[in-house]
A and B are shown apart, each in its own frame.
Chain A
Amino acid sequence: GAVVSQHPSWVICKSGTSVKIECRSLDFQATTMFWYRQFPKQSLMLMATSNEGSKATYEQGVEKDKFLINHASLTLSTLTVTSAHPEDSSFYICSADAWGTDTQYFGPGTRLTVL
């Protein structure tokens, strides 16, 4: 079946630094990818929708300058958390629409801890 990978699976960084998270569709092309944030014991909140070759569409309340999204190819989207602070610590999950399969596939998530 279709697989979505994320790298890294976990990362610890110092406050003020930037962190890049990659989301790859391994065996299918994804014209649209989504980035979610999941807090402990809470649901997934959509942060942005990423379309290959165009600017991401951010949900209300999500700072586009803080969470930079680049969808450079049909198999890769990246989320960069700029100038990270402890309140950015969370579980970040990406998903991808698999064209032709009528299904959205999820990555395993990336645990970000900002000290």
Chain B
Amino acid sequence: GNSVTQMEGPVTLSEEAFLTINCTYTATGYPSLFWYVQYPGEGLQLLLKATKADDKGSNKGFEATYRKETTSFHLEKGSVQVSDSAVYFCALIEGGTSYGKLTFGQGTILTVHP
């Protein structure tokens, strides 16, 4: 079956530091890949997505590239802010669409200090 593995957290960084959260996946076929963010007290929000190999998703300074050869979708940001403190989830949907059942990673808690 499908699975998503994220680097374990929590991750603690100082403001303006570089962020990487690793994500690898196992899936049949060619899935669509997503990063969701959950701010304290709020619902999950789509941060970025990529639906085919070599696509790069980007939003709010965050980027992730769909790497089929390494089955990875690592999240990066060049300079984090305190407001980026949240839980980040990597996820996939089978079949290259944006509809359907999401399989989530375990989530990574990010805390950014001033």
A residues near B (Cβ < 8 Å) are: 4, 32, 34, 41-46, 49, 93, 95, 97, 102-109
Contacts and interface: CB of A to CB of B under 8 A. Distances in A.
The 9 closest A-B pairs by CB, nearest first: A106-B44, A108-B43, A106-B43, A43-B106, A102-B98, A43-B104, A44-B104, A97-B99, A107-B43
Interface residues of B, number: 18
A32 B99 contact: yes
Contacts, number: 46
Interface of B: 36, 41-46, 89, 98-107
A107 B41 CA distance: 11
A32 B100 CA distance: 8
12 contacts: A41-B107, A42-B106, A43-B104, A43-B105, A44-B89, A45-B104, A93-B43, A104-B98, A106-B45, A107-B43, A108-B41, A108-B42
